[in-house]
Amino acid sequence: MGKRFTDTEKFNKHFLRSLPAPYKLLWCYITDNCSNAGIWEVDLDVAMLRLGVDISITKALQLFNAGDQRIIEFDNGAKWFIVGFVEFQYGELRNEVKPHRPIIQALLKYDLMKYVSTEKKGYQRGINTPKDKDKDKEKDKEKDKEKDKEKDKEKDKEKDSAITVLQPHQVFIEQFGKQYEAKTGQPFKADSKHFIIVAGLIKKFGIPSVIEKARLLAASCETGDQFFTKTGWCNFTIEALSAHWNKLIPKQEKAEEWRNLFTQESQQ
């Protein structure tokens, strides 16, 4: 599990306090799920599923950039750069500090270094000059005995900090299975057919509708008020969700107690 610094005073600051609740969650989410260089690969469907809220990408950018520019869009909007993230996590980037190098390289790759405060300018020339490469080789020769240990440590750090990007249907099935196991005490066995079914439903109706139908199915399994849920939680299946989609209709806010289903995900 990767670890990062967090500002314990962030909720006292006007910027975060002024955001509507869903966008407070989104801001915290992207600062936890971005890369070590402060780059978030935009996937709003997964974010909404994990946070359990509806979010507008346009509104998010308007709110986050109100007053100051905090988000830089690039790669045709597919990626966001969080301004100030790098300085907060690492201070001033220095090429001689080994853990800083991949971060500097990522920023240079996307022409983002201009948004980062550095100890001194000139990274674009200094990182890749032959002179610097020769110096690095000499240092590596001096540290041959520790090289293997350092590589192992860095691999462990990369594993810890790696962010698994799940597709919306994968996240949905994971949480669906947790609810099934919690209510039945039986293991939930997801196979390829389940992933195909859920992916198809999300593509056709959208993730908010699929979540709502799952909540209605949960409410019906609790009461057994439908012919396809009369035996209770054992009927809480992906097949039932798909086969009886049109029969899952809200009844006098009966599903209200299931509002919290699919609204939170375990910390990565």
Q: How does DSSP classify residue 34?
A: S
Cβ burial, residue 117 (10 Å; 0-12/13-18/19+): exposed
Q: How does DSSP classify residue 97?
A: S
Question: How far is residue 47's CA from residue 218's CA, in Å, rounded to a whole number?
Answer: 22
Helix axes 144-161, 130-142, angle to 10 degrees: 110
Q: What is the CA radius of gyration of the chain?
A: 24
Q: Which two tokens stand for residue 211?
A: 């979540």
Question: How far is residue 65's CA from residue 48's CA, in Å, rounded to a whole number?
Answer: 20
pTM score: 0.49
φ, ψ of residue 42 in degrees (nearest 5): -65, 120
Assess whether pLDDT exceeds 70 at residue 38. Answer: yes
How does pLDDT run across 149-179, given as a tens digit for each residue?
776 677 666 665 545 567 888 899 899 999 9
Could you tell me where the beta strands, DSSP code E, fall in the chain? Answer: 39-41, 71-74, 79-82
Parallel/antiparallel/unpaired status of strands 79-82 and 71-74:
antiparallel
pLDDT at residue 164, as a whole number: 59
Comparing 250 with 205, which gets the higher pLDDT? 205
Assess whether pLDDT exceeds 50 at residue 126. Answer: no
Contacting residues for 186 by C-beta, under 8 A, at least 6 apart: 180, 234
